[in-house]
Structure 1
């Protein structure tokens, strides 16, 4: 088609050169302008088609794929020795799943396990804020017949008291004087914070607890 347009343009330009009448020249100039516009549009279409043809297949497939939804895995257990912590995820029949559908990521302070299309669902185990740092490169994943094992390589031989780090709920509550207060005082500060930020039901429960505690202390004083 572009070859025919080119020939039309050449013919119109030749006619313009030999034309003697002004009205004919105007008609020919209009035809030339329209032909050039048509040629530009066609060239643009051809370029767009070429870009589509050269686009990587992987990119096209990725753009068409919808975002996956994952079900959180909340049940797991773990053991440890001096070199590693092993997390066990019980999944009957997981060994039959294509190994490419199972992936894991190990960072110094977190672990992520993704399982795609197992028993009709996608599954995710996220373990952020690990109790202690791990060697991500030295950690690994093992797939057994009915479970998955995540081997977290320790960076030190010390014993882990827990798998994930849990922030002390009494820390940074109140002013600097709270640092020297006993645990009971810390609990009271936490209760006050909960009362101030809680909804009506929470406030009612805390108020009832305070009232009951006060009454018990008064009874002890009378005795």
Structure 2
């Protein structure tokens, strides 16, 4: 802005000197005015070049900044802790040095049944935690978040204070309910312990992850080997 103002002033000076030159009747005076006009024109040209260089430097700096930003990569968080009071469900997200960030680098996008925590440029990384299908609705306007030492805490305001949340999300609640139903044995139907155990292992296998399935297969194989060994000893 200062350069632009100075250039405008020099242009006005040049115009006035040009006007005086036209009125001059003596050669010496006219030459002096011409010399001063050329000096001002040289200054104006230099200021113009400086302004172009400044703009180019600013553009280059922006490009460097954008390239630097582009090197940051996003980390999706899955782990968090949570607790509740009568009014809030508190979500605890552990992030080392979270307290050092500017407040605008830590923010939440909230809806009545979801939250998305964003932590930008922490040790050149961006972090995001998304929790969808909250168990109950939250009051978005009354919710907020705080940066603490090595942690961000999100305070989700309960739409109905005093409501107890058994789970954080609907999905977790359904999963636990389905798991409980699957793990019920058929013992109540008059089947023996062996049948109940078989049913339990089958349900665990069907609902388990890859590691669980490998463990069950291993246990089953070892059990079969032991039974075969026992039968051979009986003979």
TM superposition score normalised by structure 2: 0.46
- Scaled by the length of structure 1, what TM-score is found? 0.48
